[in-house]
């Protein structure tokens, strides 16, 4: 499952989700967290893709929407999310959808794609499952790391 947020972090998460889906031979579930419908014209035709749309800002909380989709599906291997670098103060004061998804405790491993172009350090969120942080370029070149770092 891939959470597609606004901006470049959503674009990089989408690219990583497509790569990961091909490597695992699974279906791709995209949860669109953007305020406009996801443009599916550039999505590959060779994959089975389900797009879950929200109904604008008045719809349920984006984090709740993603977690509800994980709960509703038994075949989710991991959640791919795009991240951008923030200072510790920025994380504490502002928060973000990605940060909240990283810390949610549902047992699904997270893979975080660094949309800023630099490699981040592994972040285990709340300690379950683990996460791996890769740049979008590393995802494209390496075929995405299947190991769980902690």
Q: What pLDDT, on the 0 to 100 scale, is given for residue 149?
A: 36
Q: What pLDDT, on the 0 to 100 scale, is given for residue 18?
A: 95
Q: Where are the domains of the chain?
A: 2-142
Q: Domain 2-142 maps to which CATH number in 1.10.10, 3.40.50, 3.30.1740, 1.10.1060?
A: 3.40.50
d(CA 74, CA 71): 7
- Lay out the sheet containing 79-83: strands in order across: 49-53, 28-32, 2-4, 79-83, 110-114, 131-135
d(CA 111, CA 13): 9
Mean pLDDT by 10 residues, the chain (150 residues): 90 93 93 90 94 81 90 90 74 69 83 65 37 42 39
């Amino acid at each position: 499952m891939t959470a597609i947020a606004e901006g470049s972090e959503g674009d990089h998460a989408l690219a990583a989700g497509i790569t990961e889906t091909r490597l695992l031979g699974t279906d791709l579930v995209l949860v669109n967290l953007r305020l406009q419908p996801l443009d599916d014209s550039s999505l590959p035709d060779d994959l089975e893709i389900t797009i879950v749309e929200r109904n604008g800002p008045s719809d349920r909380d984006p984090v709740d929407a993603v977690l509800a989709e994980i709960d509703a599906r038994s075949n989710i291997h991991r959640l791919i999310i795009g991240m951008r670098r923030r200072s510790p103060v920025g994380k504490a004061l502002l928060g973000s959808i990605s940060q909240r998804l990283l810390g949610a405790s549902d047992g699904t491993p997270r893979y975080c794609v660094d949309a800023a172009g630099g490699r981040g350090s592994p972040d285990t969120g709340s300690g379950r499952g683990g996460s791996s942080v890769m740049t979008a370029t590393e995802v494209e070149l390496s075929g995405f790391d299947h190991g769980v770092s902690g």
